[in-house]
């Protein structure tokens, strides 16, 4: 009686924990063949030995994903995009890849995508190999045009699929696998935001959110990520201390000749607008403090300077993905990035527009 009462008090989700079950019937499969379900990482989740071509696998999955049904002694396997579903697999041991899978809407969604994706993907792969082997010239240029056209078709096909299946977890999987096609964090985010919550209950959705968040660091229109580094007196200085001002975060180094050549332009901008709610915060990629301090004095850089003296491993440079210097970003009073790599007259013109 007590056990029954306890069960009645449990939430329904606790009582009805769903597991997966895979029932297989493979014609010609040798008796005692070990059949096992694996993750993408190669971890075995469940296994069974075939008898008269039949086998049964069962267990509980952490979530929807692409899994591999493998057979010892056979090169081919069966891809299964599934969650905790009841699945039936029917096929022939001579062509396992063609096995019919029923019982999972997710798997049907996956097969639907793969059907149109595979020929385009294979064409791109062949074109890439041909282009790499071809010498510069009209033929190579023509092949590149075909490659770009096919790539566009693949993106259109993917976008159509995402619009057709906005509630399927397969859409998050597809978008994650092909995220580099879009090359732009805003374009990727727009597509991700078009998906329904039911499509985001999958590990790939979290990865997409991380990719988008990381890619937007330092992008124009995004909020600047705060950081703290030591100044020339070894006192901590944070970017957030300058909120309410227009601040040019300038990445440079004493050993960087182009940076030193650009410094007079930064000095001119600072002198012109320092009394109009504008300042500069320089981040140095120096290693030797003496060289850093001498360059500051020699170039008359009379604003705040910070560095961890870690060269290209400078934490702020790594945070913002700085690949070359000089580099800069202009941040508005609200902390939003409003300009990047503004140099010379371009920097003066931008500040004139903002602070006239």
Tell me: the pLDDT tens digits for 170-227? 999 999 999 988 877 888 999 999 999 999 999 999 999 999 988 888 888 889 999 9
pLDDT number for residue 158: 96
CATH number of 228-355: 3.40.30.10
pLDDT number for residue 7: 42
Residue 213 vs residue 13, higher pLDDT: 213
Average pLDDT on 310-317 reads 97
Average pLDDT, the chain: 92
pLDDT number for residue 214: 85
pLDDT number for residue 171: 97
Give the SS3 label for residue 338: strand
C-beta of residue 171 within 8 angstroms of C-beta of residue 199:
yes
pLDDT number for residue 218: 87
Beta bridge partners of 55: 24
pLDDT number for residue 236: 97
pLDDT digits (tens, 9 = 90+) for 135-158: 888 899 899 999 999 999 999 999
> DSSP alpha helices (H): ranges in 165-298?
169-177, 179-182, 185-193, 203-215, 257-273, 289-298
pLDDT number for residue 227: 97
pLDDT number for residue 127: 92
pLDDT number for residue 16: 52
pLDDT number for residue 332: 96
Tokens of 280: 């500069």
The verdict on domain 16-103 having CATH code 2.60.40.10 is yes
- All structural domains of the chain with their residue ranges: 16-103, 107-215, 228-355
pLDDT number for residue 215: 83
pLDDT digits (tens, 9 = 90+) for 262-277: 999 999 999 999 999 9
Q: Within 13 Å of residue 138, how many CA atoms lie on the same side as its CB?
A: 0
pLDDT number for residue 144: 92
pLDDT digits (tens, 9 = 90+) for 283-309: 999 999 999 999 999 999 999 999 999
Average pLDDT on 37-64 reads 95
Core vs surface per residue 19-29: b (16+ CB within 10 A) or e: ebbbebbbeeb
Angle made by CA atoms 111, 117, 121, in degrees to the nearest 5:
135
CATH fold match for the domains 16-103 and 228-355: no
Predicted confidence (pLDDT) at residue 12 exceeds the cutoff of 50:
no
pLDDT digits (tens, 9 = 90+) for 84-127: 999 999 999 999 999 999 999 999 999 999 999 999 999 999 99
Average pLDDT on 302-330 reads 96
Confidence of residue 17 (pLDDT cuts 50, 70, 90): low
pLDDT number for residue 186: 84
Predicted confidence (pLDDT) at residue 15 exceeds the cutoff of 80:
no
If you write DSSP's letter for every residue of 127-157 in order, what string do you get? HHHHHHHSPSSHHHHHHHHHHHHHHHHHHHH
Q: What predicted TM-score, i.e. pTM, was given to this entire model?
A: 0.71
């Amino acid at each position: 009686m007590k056990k029954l009462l306890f069960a009645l008090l449990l939430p329904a989700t606790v009582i009805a924990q769903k597991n997966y079950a895979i029932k297989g019937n493979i014609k010609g499969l040798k008796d005692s063949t070990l059949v096992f379900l694996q993750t993408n990482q190669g971890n075995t989740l469940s296994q069974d030995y075939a008898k008269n071509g039949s086998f049964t696998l069962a267990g509980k999955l952490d979530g929807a994903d692409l899994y591999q049904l493998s057979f010892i002694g056979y090169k081919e396997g069966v891809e299964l995009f599934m969650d905790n579903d009841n699945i039936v697999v029917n096929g022939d041991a001579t062509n396992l890849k063609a096995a019919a899978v029923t019982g999972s809407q997710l798997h049907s969604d996956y097969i639907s995508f793969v059907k149109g994706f595979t020929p385009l993907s294979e064409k791109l792969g062949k074109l890439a190999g041909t282009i790499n082997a071809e010498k510069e010239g009209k033929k190579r240029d023509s092949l590149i045009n075909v490659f770009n056209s096919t790539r566009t078709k693949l993106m259109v096909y993917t976008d159509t699929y995402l619009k057709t299946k906005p509630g399927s977890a397969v859409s998050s999987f597809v978008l994650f696998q092909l995220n580099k096609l879009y090359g732009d964090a805003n374009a990727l985010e727009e597509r991700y935001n078009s998906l329904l919550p039911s499509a985001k209950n999958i590990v790939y959705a979290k990865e997409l959110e991380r990719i988008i968040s990381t890619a937007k660091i330092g992008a124009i229109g995004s909020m600047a990520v705060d950081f703290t580094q030591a100044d020339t007196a070894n006192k901590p200085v944070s970017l957030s201390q300058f909120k309410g001002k227009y601040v040019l975060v300038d990445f440079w180094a004493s050993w960087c000749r182009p940076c030193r050549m650009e410094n007079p332009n930064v000095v001119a901008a600072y002198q012109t607008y320092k009394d109009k709610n504008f300042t500069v915060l320089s981040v140095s990629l120096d290693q030797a403090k003496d060289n850093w301090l001498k360059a500051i004095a020699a170039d008359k850089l009379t604003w705040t300077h910070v560095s961890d003296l870690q060269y290209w491993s400078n934490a702020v440079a790594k945070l913002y993905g700085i690949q070359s210097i000089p580099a800069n970003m202009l941040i508005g009073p609200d902390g939003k990035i409003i300009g990047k790599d503004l140099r010379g007259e371009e920097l003066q013109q931008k500040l004139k527009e903002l602070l006239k």
